[in-house]
Amino acid sequence: MINIDLESIFQKKSNHNNFAHIIIPTQIVPCELKIIKKNITKIWKKFISSKRDNFITLLENIGIQYKDLNNRKCCYCEEKIDFIDFFYLNSSLGIGKVLEIWQNNLILFYCNKCQLINDPF
C-alpha cells in the first residue's frame, strides 16, 4: 500500500508552486504524434487481422452495434464493403472519425479493385 501524506501536500500547495514536482510537463511534437499514430495503426491492424470476431465484440462493448452500421457498396462495381475492412485501412483516423465517415450517406466508397483501376498512381 502506498502511504501518501495528503495533509503535507496541501500544506505545500499553500506555499505556492510546490506542486511543480508532481506536474510533469508534456510536450508532443508533430513527428512524435506521427510515430504514435503509426504504432496505434499497427496495433489495430494486428488485432483486426488476428481477431476479427473480437473486433465486433469490442465495437459492441463501446456501444457500436456492428449489425446496425450502414451497409456500403462500391459506387462503381457494387461490391459489398465491410466496415471492418474500411476501419482496417483507415484506423489512423481513430474509430470515432472512421465511424462518422462510414455513417455519412453523402460520402461514396469504392472497393480496392476499383481503386486500383481508378488510381492514376
Q: For binding to Zn ion (CB under 5 A), which residues are involved?
A: 74, 76-77, 79, 111, 114
Nearer residue to Zn ion within complex by CB, 93 or 114: 114
Q: Which of 42, 53, 120 is nearest to 88 (CA)?
A: 42
Q: Considering beta carbons, is residue 33 or 75 the nearer one to Zn ion? A: 75
State in angstroms the smallest separation of the CB of 102 from Zn ion. Answer: 17
Choose between 98 and 111: whose C-beta lies nearer to Zn ion: 111
Q: Helices marked H in 1-118 — which ranges?
A: 6-14, 30-50, 52-61, 83-90, 95-103, 112-118
Nearer to Zn ion, 64 or 74 (CB): 74
Amino acid at the residue 118: N
Contact between residue 69 and residue 103 where contact means Cβ atoms under 8 Å apart:
yes
For residues 121 and 118, what is the distance between their CA atoms, to the nearest angstrom?
9
CB of 85 to Zn ion, least distance (A): 12
